Amino acid sequence: MNDATDERHMLCARLIRPGQLSLTREEIPQPTPDRPLIKVSAVGLCGSDAHWYEHGSTDDTRLEQPLILGHEFAGTVETGSWAGRRVAVDPAVPCLSCDACAEGLEHLCRNIEFAGHGRTDGALRRYLTWPERCLVPLPDELTDDEGALLEPLGVSLHAIDLARKLRPTLDQWQSVGVFGSGPIGLLLIAALRSSGLSNVIATDRLEHRLSAAVAMGATMTVLATSAGQEVERIVAAASGQGLDVAFDASGDPAATESAIAAVRPGGIVVLVGIPSTDRTSFTASSVRRKEVSMIVCRRMKPGDLVHAADLAATGAVQLSTIISDRFALEEVDTAFKSLTERRGLKVIVQP
């Protein structure tokens, strides 16, 4: 059955249990005045989606019921005042009434609704409804596939802003490291370079990701090893003093340890990647001896999606460079296999 023969139903991909996705036919949701209907055109698969698929959990949240994944997405609005407009979508819906929201920390909302997380279905379906206040117009310069990547670019921009709270002047960022060159790491590299930073060092365990890091602007790449032997090379490249700022975009404990080892005394480490076991560990003496400042990044803050759209529209960050695979929704099993095997870079599903 296809959509042409049944206008009231749509195709969805639900995670039933770890490793098992089911294609289902479900009713198209009904829009409301503040939640228009959106026809989904592109969904980026994220590392957290891989955690859901492989383990049935991410962070401390576990699969309680069949869930539609997908929080990086773009589409076209079908109803309401935005009808006909292509949009990127902020997957986070804050309550706007808790103490965190009152302090301007909507991304840390105590009652947040997040696409493809917990009990909130995400975008791996043909249609969904989403609050109009979470929509950002997609610039004409960007394709829908690129629009789906504005959310991870927004996360990267937020991570950089967190480090700038401690070291606000980029002149103080003489050398920066990105540990883990998956999609978030690659977007971090591009965003850092677009800010005018001239020394951005990237690491990864996969050669094809290091090649992509160069394409995104990395000035030096180092093949990571489980023993952390890359640290000596990184410190040497950072004028022998160590990095000013290091971003752990991997979540792997080895990457965290390497980032800590590579920063100079008084340096900054920003934890961006999600660890597979929901636990981050490191050698305490390494942090204490250098009085390293550690910051944890949580998604993106309000306004980052708009910033990401503006930045990408100028061409300062080439989002299409990291798209390696595109699949139809009917091929979602293959898409997740590509994601979890890390054969490419960013996987896009086109419902």
pLDDT tens sequence across 91-116: 999 999 999 999 999 999 999 999 99
Helix, strand and coil percent figures for the chain, each rounded to 5:
35, 30, 35
How high is the pLDDT of residue 4? 43
Helix (H) or strand (E) holding 221: strand 220-223
Q: Can you give the pLDDT of all 351 residues of the chain as single tens digits?
A: 344 447 899 999 999 999 999 999 999 999 999 999 999 999 999 999 999 999 887 877 888 899 999 999 999 999 999 999 999 999 999 999 999 999 999 999 999 999 999 999 999 999 999 999 999 999 999 999 999 999 999 999 999 999 999 999 988 999 999 999 999 999 999 999 999 999 999 999 999 999 999 999 999 999 998 666 788 889 988 888 999 999 999 989 899 999 999 999 999 999 999 887 878 888 899 999 999 999 999 999 989 999 999 999 999 999 999 999 999 999 999 999 999 999 999 999 999
Residue 73 · residue 347 · CB < 8 Å: no
- The pLDDT score that the predictor gives to residue 228 is 66
Please give the Cα distance from 173 to 150 (Å, whole number): 25
The tokens of 63 are what?
Answer: 């699969």
- pLDDT score of 226: 65
Question: What does residue 189 show for φ and ψ, rounded to 5 degrees?
Answer: -60, -50
Domains of the chain: 3-138+318-350 (3.90.180.10), 155-296 (3.40.50.720)
Residue among 206, 153, 194, 136 nearest 319 (CA) = 153
